[in-house]
Amino acid sequence: MGSNHDHGSAAVREGHQKKLIMALALTGSFMIAEVIGAWITGSLALLSDASHMFTDTAALAISLIALQIAKRPADQKRTFGYARLEILASTFNAVLLFLVAMYILYEAYQRFFMPAEIATGAMMWIAIAGLIINLISMRLLASASNESLNVKGAYLEVWSDMLGSLGVIIAALIIRFTGWTWVDTIVAVAIGLWVLPRTWQLLRESLGILMEGVPRGLDVTAIEATILGVDGVTDVHDLHVWAVSSGSNVMTSHVVIRDSADGDAVLAAVVEAVSDAFEIHHCTIQIERAAFHESVPSPSH
């Protein structure tokens, strides 16, 4: 049996944590001001943006907690450690964002029948401040969002907030010069509809990992072909590929080799080939020879 572990994941998580802390400090410090501003101005679009800012703060806090717990080492009860908590956090964030989007759509429906007075001046300046905060937070999280679904969930929430702030600014300008207060409701609906499909994508990716599906971007057929291409390998079976968390891919397989082949050399070559081609850094390979299958009946699956 052979195994190869990625020891760089801890350093990667440390970098993610620092970026999340900075983004949380920025977002959390502005959240209270924006919530109060939404109440004072009476703007539903600003309330939509404020609600997303609140979920941003919650999402960032949850992500940080998950990353902190995920640093705990593996033990006798959790042999893969606590890394899966990052995926649970991203799933929770996706559900939270979905519920907020549905709430905003409901409030927009109510506003169509009960229009409200809107203080466009305060509405616009609050949205501009929110836009600046969101752009800074997005810059902090952009690179890490490609490495972790947990960070990606927080990044998507900040991204939706950024668009929300832009929408609020545009709505404030239109209402100020035309008096069309219904534009505020339209912008709120647009923000909600924009968020929903991206929330679904995040939820689908998170559930895929929780269900131990093949990680996105990996092809089992291609992995099998790579293993079969190693000199000395004659067959591959019981090949399983899944992810413990974002970027932490795992593979197990039974590899049949020629009777004359050097088992240790083939094992090392298979692990190296899979790691280099697919970035799977945790491989457990069982080496078998043809005689093994002649003496042991194949298990039923």
| pLDDT by position in tens, the chain (length 301) | 444 444 445 555 566 677 777 777 777 777 777 777 777 777 666 666 666 676 667 767 776 776 677 667 766 777 666 767 777 777 887 787 788 778 777 777 777 776 666 767 777 887 788 788 878 888 877 777 766 666 776 777 677 777 777 888 888 888 888 888 788 778 778 877 777 777 787 788 888 878 877 888 888 999 999 999 999 899 999 999 988 776 678 899 999 988 888 888 999 999 999 988 888 878 889 998 876 665 555 555 4
Quick one: how many helices (H) and strands (E) in the chain?
9, 3
The domains of the chain, with CATH numbers, are 6-211 (1.20.1510.10), 220-294 (3.30.70.1350)
**Beta strand pairing status for 248-257 and 282-289?**
parallel
Q: Are 285 and 267 in contact (CB under 8 A)?
A: yes
pTM beyond 0.95, yes or no: no
Q: Are 218 and 248 in contact (CB under 8 A)?
A: no
Cα 9 to chain centroid distance, Å, stands at 16
CA distance 150 to 246: 8
Q: Are 55 and 157 in contact (CB under 8 A)?
A: yes
Q: State how far the alpha carbon of 114 is from the alpha carbons of 38, 39, 110, 118, 222, in Å.
A: 17, 16, 6, 13, 58
